């Protein structure tokens, strides 16, 4: 039991770090924009760029897992993430800010396919639960970034928040390298069959589910602060807290559920319906109920995120296919989600209406309902003979 808890703790620690430095930016984005005199499009790029990079490095990340093993890839990527997060503050500004924001996100992207491999290798008989622990930690990282960054903003400005998340990531990377166990065989199953996966329509269906919810989440995290800025920092802090915190009890409940919800079409249709209601509320400018829309969006988002993150390890036919499956889903999914912050900024610059980014998100959310109802059917997960129970 103590070994299992250690493995769960390590997965959760890395999951937290893969999101906190990235999602610590949107809450302080209005201050970054004012301080550096950025346009709305340029400000939106600070949250759109990490999303694009999260997809760009996913396939190379799978290749690195093949070459060096998931354990070393995750440790090195987390340390690299911390260094890049700190170097965002280096001169010249804002050039270094954009450059090292991209490097930081690339490091997070490299680690994610490796985490899918680790989850299936460490928890071969509980992949759904192990994956949900990871996604819960990602949500906690988003919560920490979204809420604590505002506290650091009051204490030392947006630069202080950047430095804090960087140092925390460096510590987490060191802990992983020191404590993460090695497999008896010396390495994780090697990624294989990437071209075969490219031709599998189910891969792109899962990628569309993942990308749609990510577009909505990153778009909402970027543009909610602008839509409700006039209502004061206290209300903004509440809304951003709800956006991230309400999903946590849902995620914990999903960990405990024995029902295979990650394969359920009704599960995704319900989650997408919640996303549609929430984004429509913001699109209509009903900011007095922004706390409600944020809570609904948080629940629907974490449901879709947890399921679509678990599907690569569940749908992959063998351990050798897990990293490649996850990499393709992440690459295509984050390419789609780039549109939330970036296209939202373009809409805002052209329409001068703070609700305009949510018009796009509402359309995407409605599309996810159909994608959920059409989720491919796959057989039960085959557990490899040489898998190690954690």
Residue 346 inside a domain? The answer is yes
The domain spanning residue 94 has which CATH number? 1.20.1250.20
Return d(Cα 263, Cα 203) in angstroms, integer: 14
Compute the CA torsion angle 315, 250, 149, 228 (nearest 10 deg). Answer: 110
Residue pLDDT, tens place only, 172-223: 999 999 988 876 544 444 455 667 788 888 999 999 999 999 999 888 988 8
Residue 378 inside a domain? The answer is no
pLDDT value, residue 26: 80
Residue pLDDT, tens place only, 308-365: 988 988 887 777 777 788 888 988 888 888 778 778 888 888 888 889 999 999 999 9
pLDDT value, residue 194: 66
Q: Going by C-beta distance under 8 Å and a sequence separation of 6 or more, which residues neighbour residue 7?
A: 122, 123, 181, 390
- Determine the Cα angle at 242 with ends 39 and 112, to 5°: 75
pLDDT value, residue 278: 97
Q: For the chain, how many structural domains are there in total? A: 1
Residue 382 inside a domain? The answer is no
Among candidate residues 317, 324, 318, the one with its CA nearest the CA of residue 386: 318
Residue 381 inside a domain? The answer is no
Return d(Cα 285, Cα 158) in angstroms, integer: 28
pLDDT value, residue 183: 64
Residue 199 inside a domain? The answer is yes
CB count in 10 Å sphere of residue 283? 21
First to last CA, the chain: 9
Question: Three-state SS string across the chain, please?
Answer: CHHHHHHHHHHHHHHHHCCHHHHCCHHHHHHHHHHHCCCHHHHHHHHHHHHHHHHHCHHHHHHHHHHHCHHHHHHHHHHHHHHHHHHCCCCCCCHHHHHHHHHHHHHHHHHHHHHHHHHHHHCCCCHHHHHHHHHHHHHHHHHHHHHHHHHHHHHHHHHHHHHHHHHHHHHHHHHHHHHCCCCCCCCCCCCCCHHHHHCCHHHHHHHHHHHHHHHHHHHHHHHHHHHCHHHCHHHHHHHHHHHHHCHHHHHHHHHHCCCCHHHCHHHHHHHHHHHHHHHHHHHCCCHHHHHHHHHHHHHHHHHHHHHHHHHHHHHCCCHHHHHHHHHHHHHHHHHHHCHHHHHHHHHHHHHCCCCHHHHHHHHHHHHHHHHHHCCCCCCCCCCCCCCCCC
Residue 120 inside a domain? The answer is yes
Per the structure, the complete domain to which residue 21 belongs is given by 2-373
Residue 310 inside a domain? The answer is yes
Per-residue pLDDT of the chain (390 residues; tens, 9 = 90+): 577 888 889 999 999 999 899 888 888 888 888 888 888 778 877 877 887 787 777 888 878 887 788 899 999 999 999 999 999 988 888 889 999 999 999 999 899 888 888 888 888 777 888 888 888 888 888 778 877 887 777 777 888 889 999 999 999 999 999 988 876 544 444 455 667 788 888 999 999 999 999 999 888 988 898 888 888 778 887 898 888 788 888 888 888 877 889 889 999 999 999 999 999 999 999 988 999 999 999 999 999 999 998 898 888 777 777 778 888 898 888 888 877 877 888 888 888 888 999 999 999 999 999 999 999 976 444 444 333 333
pLDDT value, residue 139: 81
Among candidate residues 134, 66, 106, 79, the one with its CA nearest the CA of residue 321: 66
Residue 389 inside a domain? The answer is no
pLDDT value, residue 390: 32
């Amino acid at each position: 039991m103590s070994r299992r808890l250690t493995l769960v703790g390590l997965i959760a620690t890395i999951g937290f770090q893969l999101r906190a430095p990235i999602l610590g930016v949107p809450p302080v984005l209005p201050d970054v924009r004012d301080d550096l005199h950025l346009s709305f499009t340029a400000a939106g790029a600070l949250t759109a760029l990490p999303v694009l990079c999260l997809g760009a490095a996913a396939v190379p990340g799978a290749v690195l897992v093949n070459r060096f093993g998931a354990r070393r890839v995750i440790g090195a990527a987390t340390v690299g993430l911390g260094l890049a997060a700190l170097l965002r503050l280096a001169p010249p500004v804002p050039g270094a800010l954009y450059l090292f924001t991209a490097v930081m996100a690339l490091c997070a992207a490299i680690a994610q396919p490796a985490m899918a491999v680790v989850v299936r290798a460490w928890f071969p008989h509980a992949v759904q639960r192990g994956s949900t622990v990871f996604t819960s930690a990602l949500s906690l990282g988003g919560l920490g970034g979204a809420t604590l960054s505002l506290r650091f903003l009051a204490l030392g400005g947006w630069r202080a928040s950047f430095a804090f998340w960087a140092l925390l990531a460096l510590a987490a990377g060191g802990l992983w390298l020191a404590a993460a166990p090695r497999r008896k065989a010396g390495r994780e199953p090697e990624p294989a069959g990437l071209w075969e996966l490219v031709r599998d329509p189910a891969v792109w269906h899962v990628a569309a589910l993942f990308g749609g919810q990510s577009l909505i989440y990153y778009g909402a995290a970027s543009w909610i602060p602008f839509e409700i800025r006039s209502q004061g920092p206290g209300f903004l802090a509440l809304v951003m807290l709800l956006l991230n915190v309400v999903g946590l009890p849902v995620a914990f409940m999903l960990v405990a559920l024995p029902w295979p919800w990650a394969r359920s079409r009704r599960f995704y249709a319900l989650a997408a319906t919640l996303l549609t209601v929430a984004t429509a509320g913001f699109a209509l400018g009903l900011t007095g109920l922004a706390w409600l829309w944020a809570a609904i969006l948080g629940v629907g988002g974490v449901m879709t995120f947890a399921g679509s993150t678990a599907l690569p390890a569940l749908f992959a036919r063998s351990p050798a296919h897990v990293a490649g499956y996850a990499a393709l889903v992440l690459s295509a999914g984050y390419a789609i989600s780039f549109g939330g912050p970036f296209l939202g900024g373009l809409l805002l610059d052209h329409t001068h209406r703070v609700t305009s980014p949510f018009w796009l998100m509402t359309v995407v959310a409605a599309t996810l309902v159909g994608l959920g109802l059409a989720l491919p059917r796959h057989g039960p997960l085959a557990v490899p003979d040489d898998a190690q129970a954690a």
